[in-house]
Chain A
Amino acid sequence: MSWETYDPSLAAHDLVQDLKWDPALRALFKQNEAAVLDRYTTMLPAERRAIEQRDFRALYDLGMHPYLGGQLSRFIWGNDAGGGAIEASNRLVASLTGSIASIPEKP
């Protein structure tokens, strides 16, 4: 990875910040994801599609900052400390690499 594709203007960045800062928005996202995404009027169709399909490779290729991508993955797939957010980390890496080869055995 590199910063070559990084695009700070992606609306997905604001989505992650808002989810992080607003518990009510998080609850709404779980209940009605489309309604939340509709609020981000500058979100590119490809950006929205990548979020809906949990396609982090596509999202990163569009310019998503990996730190906020990681936070989005934890929001979607689990943020638990006892498990080290392993489920989210594994799914994120699998989405980004198309492989589970680099994922270690369970701790």
Chain B
Amino acid sequence: MAEIVFAAGIPHAPAVVGLFDKAPDEARAVVAATFGAVGRALRAAKPDVVLVFANDHLTNSRITAYPDFIIGHAAEHAGPHEWFKEWIGCRDWAVPGDPEVARTLFKGLTKRGFRMNAEAGPLKFDDNLSVPTVMTELDSTGIPVVPILQNCTVPPFPDGARCYALGQAVARCIAEDMPAGLRVALIGSGGLSHEPGGARYYKIDEEFDQLFLKLASEPDHATFLREITIPRMEQAGLGGTAEVLSWFIVMGAIGERQGESFGYTGWPSFRCGIGGVVWEVA
């Protein structure tokens, strides 16, 4: 039986890379503390593979045929995709994939009632994987990564209950289908409040973000699922805030666990609320 040895939720706003040096001290401190803590805890957990659940920002598919979940099966993943390089401004990165774990996940989630899509070739990555990878220096660890890209922005998309249930299926797949002794890390990449490309591009809903971080850190998922609804996410920023659904998958997989967050900043020029959580899973 494989086991989950690490779980975290982090944002992937590109401006935490591009505007880091221009941000005020308190905002820089939150960014450094959050990604630093996640990176250290990830290394300490010594995982054999990292499953990263992250929003696909209309990067891989046309809007007229948009999948809800794509599992990357490639032997290597690299980014950022050419068009996003200038925008994100981060260095190039590459991580090994894990085609066997990807196949097991694809088969296991399918048989448990979740429509997944498998991509054997290279996926295009923007900030979704690039920002967490470079900010935690995941690519320096050599740990294989399986990206699971999800639809959080093209309506209709799977809601909180469905994403949480998917997480529960991920846990069963890890426990029942993956090799004994395999150490699995889970990362949800997305959020917090933001409205990319919208009229409220510079609006950050600090009240939502603080509530979200508080509830996500507490071992009471009934309250979390009741309070953090799609309408409340959209109120906090249309088309962007719902990226926190990636955290729902991780929370569904680990069950009710205590989490630790590392501060919060709503500096407007980040155009996204910034905060993260590492959950106790050991």
In the complex the two chains form, is B196's CB within 8 Å of A8's CB? no
Instruction: Check A13/B62 contact, CB under 8 A, given A85-B87, A102-B203, A104-B269.
Output: yes
- What chain A residues lie within 8 Å of B196 (beta carbons)? 66-67, 70
Which size class do A's interface residues fall under? 35 or more
Cα distance A55–B220 when bound, in Å? 46
B255 CB–A CB distance under 8 Å: no
Segment 16-49 of A: residues with Cβ below 8 Å from B: 17, 20-21, 23
- What chain B residues lie within 8 Å of A102 (beta carbons)? 200-203
In the complex, what's the smallest C-beta–C-beta distance from A8 to chain B, in angstroms? Answer: 5
In the complex the two chains form, is A14's CB within 8 Å of B197's CB? no
B239 CB–A CB distance under 8 Å: yes
The residue on A at minimum CB distance from B89 is A81
B214 CB–A CB distance under 8 Å: no
Residue in contact with A65 in the complex, picked from B18, B88, B154, B200, CB distance below 8 Å: B154
Residue in contact with B18 in the complex, picked from A6, A71, A81, A104, CB distance below 8 Å: A81
In the complex the two chains form, is A93's CB within 8 Å of B238's CB? no
In the complex the two chains form, is B238's CB within 8 Å of A3's CB? yes
The residue on A at minimum CB distance from B90 is A81
Cα distance A33–B18 when bound, in Å? 29
Cα distance A45–B14 when bound, in Å? 34
Cα distance A107–B88 when bound, in Å? 16
- What chain A residues lie within 8 Å of B184 (beta carbons)? none
B52 CB–A CB distance under 8 Å: no
- The 9 A-B residue pairs whose C-beta atoms are closest, nearest first, are A70-B197, A81-B89, A81-B18, A66-B197, A107-B269, A96-B199, A107-B22, A66-B198, A104-B268
10 A-B interface contacts by CB (under 8 A): A1-B200, A13-B63, A66-B195, A66-B197, A67-B58, A67-B240, A70-B197, A80-B87, A89-B271, A104-B269
